[in-house]
Chain A
Amino acid sequence: MGVESLPILTTRKDAVLAWGQKNSLWPMPFGTACCAIEFMSVVSSVFDIARFGAELVRFSPRQADLLLVAGTVTFKQGPILKQIYEQMPDPKWVISMGVCASSGGFYNNYCTVQGIDQIIPVDVYISGCPPRPEAILEAIIKLQHKIENPHTTPVAQYKAKEPHFDF
């Protein structure tokens, strides 16, 4: 018997919420550098992030639930990243795109933060410099999986309110 003919379906509330959240991620690109250019490619028609329900790119953190940090974050940029993250309403997720955001990449020097997880919690990391557009799509799928299974893969939480830098 097909589902269509059922007048009522029962499910768990969190399951239906997660289903909604995962299929309508509203990303806010925190694009600082080269990776942001690749993110533009993901949004444009060839790769088309809309296939995964995340095409509604918001430029205000208050309207977004997915923060996509694309690019190098320097110490000068650090307080801004933190502020933007805090401005986002819960529930919220973070994807760190590219090695720069994930670990500082090959900028191991005096001005680059060695991974944004020293400032904000991160859910999915993408390697690559810049990652290929497909990798970003994969990260979105990973995140969707994570949203669906909150018990096995808990969402990253703020450990400390103050950034903790490992110098």
Chain B
Amino acid sequence: MINNFDTKTLLPVRSSQGLDSLKHQEKKDLVLVNLGPSHPASHGTLRAFLALDGETIAAAVTEIGYLHRGFEKDCEAHTFQQCIPYTDRLNYVSAIMNNVGFCKAVERMLRVEVPERAIYIRVITNELNRIIDHLVCAGANLVDIGALTNFWYSFNVREKVYNILEKLCGARLTSSYTRIGGLSRDVYPEFAAEVKAVLKEIQLGVNDVQKLVSNNRIFLDRTKDICVISKERAISYGWTGPTLRACGVEYDLRKSDPYYHYEDFKFDIPVGSVGDTYDRIFIRFYEIEESIHIIEQALGKMPKGPIITDDKRVALPPKQQTYGNIEGLMNHFKIIMHGICPEPGEIYDFTEAANGELGFYIVADGGKNPYRVKCRPPCFMNFAAFGEMIEGTMVADAVATLGSINIIAGELDR
């Protein structure tokens, strides 16, 4: 549990100056422990510094930034198109959702219409990614509690979804599937059938997991009424997405500010009642089911047509035109050499990603690179509350809670 216990540089345990004075007044001994930044249960590079009174956490402070790899500065040094691979690596469990979030913001800046077919494919891949994200979150969280079998159940279906995504865009994890104005390529012919088949398996996998845990005494004891956060506090911390809904706030951008025809799909928003770890895990299972409904509807409605806009400012011409006529060639040259240049302006645009509101604030100065990109990661707000939530609970509860708020370090630190 304690991985940097005996070092001068990283951590004073017990004998630090500050604590000596504390010990005099209060007869209790507090033990200082580092949870992270390289800790198996911390799902990435997060650090929580705990003062333990026995096994109870007396006080906790958290530190982030261990995976701060300069996403925002890198965006400023690359063109709008080149930023898309960087967005993959924000929330790397559900990469396409970040691609879509970023492209949607830029498309609004450019006032480009995305073709209907591309919108439906974006919805389908988005929801597939949401399913993966929830599966990974729930699976990993259950491992932390000791339920290893669920990990295999959820990861087996996840692997099947990855096979589809790989066929679709050539990469398993970091897909860079969208382009500004549409998509990088159309779906392959068997796509719909394969997705339908995999949806059935997802449903089976989720049922299996639920069967194992929902009446499991250990699981219930470990999660019910653990680390409850009130509605007001969660809102004040800026929580969005499943974690906020677990607290009983019915708020989903797909319903409240619908985009991409989400208003036309029939789906429900599961809402928790207590705001404890149990709600935060189970809400994800229910959301997977809703996502399955959305994908089924979207597959039925998906129209034929182009997958990228024909706007000459943003989309490359088809290869025949690039090689076949001078206009196509010049068009190609211009986009490659001069890039996509939105008018000067600023925009904040948001989508409902797997963890909550994923926002991009983009400042354009008329050039081919964004002048400034600020990502609003949903995890950041979740983790800000973590220290407060775990105070007064046991260390083991802290681990279970950390899994349930689903912190993805890439997005947290950018």
Interface residues in B221-259 (C-beta closer than 8 Å to A): none
Hey, what's the 0/1 contact readout for A77-119 against B, CB within 8 Å counting as 1?
1011001100100000000000010000011011110000000
Chain A hits for B393, CB < 8 A? none
Hey, what's the 0/1 contact readout for A118-138 against B, CB within 8 Å counting as 1?
000000000001101000000
A84–B37 alpha-carbon span in the complex (Å)? 11
A116–B172 alpha-carbon span in the complex (Å)? 25
**Distance in Å: Cβ of B5 to nearest Cβ of chain A:** 10
B156 interfacial by beta-carbon distance below 8 Å: yes
Chain A hits for B39, CB < 8 A? 59
A61–B3 alpha-carbon span in the complex (Å)? 8
A129–B89 alpha-carbon span in the complex (Å)? 10
**Distance in Å: Cβ of B73 to nearest Cβ of chain A:** 6
A112–B156 alpha-carbon span in the complex (Å)? 33
Asked if B44 and A32 sit within 8 Å, CB to CB, the answer is: yes
Q: Which of B62-70, B340-348, B374-382 contacts A (4 or more CB under 8 A)?
A: B62-70
Asked if B37 and A80 sit within 8 Å, CB to CB, the answer is: yes
**Distance in Å: Cβ of A99 to nearest Cβ of chain B:** 11
Chain B hits for A83, CB < 8 A? 4, 7, 9-10
Chain A hits for B77, CB < 8 A? 109
Chain B hits for A30, CB < 8 A? 38
Pick the contact of B67: A33, A38, A40, A84 (CB < 8 A).
Answer: A33
Chain A hits for B65, CB < 8 A? 74, 76
Pick the contact of B45: A32, A37, A111 (CB < 8 A).
Answer: A32
A106–B87 alpha-carbon span in the complex (Å)? 12
A9 interfacial by beta-carbon distance below 8 Å: no
Knowing A32-B44, A36-B44, A109-B74, the reply to whether A77 touches B66 (Cβ < 8 A) is: yes
A60 interfacial by beta-carbon distance below 8 Å: yes
A71–B45 alpha-carbon span in the complex (Å)? 10
B129 interfacial by beta-carbon distance below 8 Å: no
Hey, what's the 0/1 contact readout for B392-412 against A, CB within 8 Å counting as 1?
000000000000000001100
* Complex: chain B residue closest to A109, CB-CB: B70
Knowing A76-B66, A106-B85, A107-B69, the reply to whether A40 touches B10 (Cβ < 8 A) is: no
Asked if A33 and B73 sit within 8 Å, CB to CB, the answer is: no
A38–B92 alpha-carbon span in the complex (Å)? 10
Knowing A40-B155, A41-B155, A45-B152, the reply to whether A80 touches B172 (Cβ < 8 A) is: no
Asked if A76 and B68 sit within 8 Å, CB to CB, the answer is: yes
Interface residues in A6-46 (C-beta closer than 8 Å to B): 30-34, 36-38, 40-41, 44-46
A80–B4 alpha-carbon span in the complex (Å)? 9
Interface residues in B75-111 (C-beta closer than 8 Å to A): 77, 85-86, 88-89, 92-93
* Complex: chain A residue closest to B36, CB-CB: A80
A77–B155 alpha-carbon span in the complex (Å)? 28
* Complex: chain B residue closest to A32, CB-CB: B45
**Distance in Å: Cβ of A7 to nearest Cβ of chain B:** 43
Asked if A74 and B67 sit within 8 Å, CB to CB, the answer is: yes
Hey, what's the 0/1 contact readout for B131-154 against A, CB within 8 Å counting as 1?
000001000000000000001100
Chain B hits for A111, CB < 8 A? 68-70
Asked if A74 and B68 sit within 8 Å, CB to CB, the answer is: yes
Knowing A38-B173, A45-B155, A83-B10, the reply to whether A32 touches B74 (Cβ < 8 A) is: no
* Complex: chain A residue closest to B77, CB-CB: A109
* Complex: chain A residue closest to B159, CB-CB: A46
Knowing A84-B3, A109-B74, the reply to whether A33 touches B172 (Cβ < 8 A) is: no
A99–B136 alpha-carbon span in the complex (Å)? 24
Asked if A44 and B9 sit within 8 Å, CB to CB, the answer is: no
B174 interfacial by beta-carbon distance below 8 Å: yes
Chain B hits for A109, CB < 8 A? 69-70, 73-74, 77
B318 interfacial by beta-carbon distance below 8 Å: no
A79–B3 alpha-carbon span in the complex (Å)? 13
A48–B79 alpha-carbon span in the complex (Å)? 39
**Distance in Å: Cβ of B83 to nearest Cβ of chain A:** 11
A107–B74 alpha-carbon span in the complex (Å)? 7
B366 interfacial by beta-carbon distance below 8 Å: no
A34–B88 alpha-carbon span in the complex (Å)? 9
A82–B73 alpha-carbon span in the complex (Å)? 27
Can you give 24 contacting A-B residue pairs, CB < 8 Å? A33-B44, A34-B88, A34-B92, A37-B173, A41-B155, A44-B152, A44-B155, A44-B159, A45-B156, A59-B39, A74-B66, A76-B68, A77-B37, A77-B45, A77-B66, A83-B4, A83-B10, A107-B69, A107-B74, A109-B69, A110-B73, A112-B69, A129-B174, A130-B173
Q: Which 7 interchain pairs have the tightest Cβ spacing? A: A59-B40, A34-B92, A109-B70, A44-B155, A107-B69, A46-B159, A32-B45
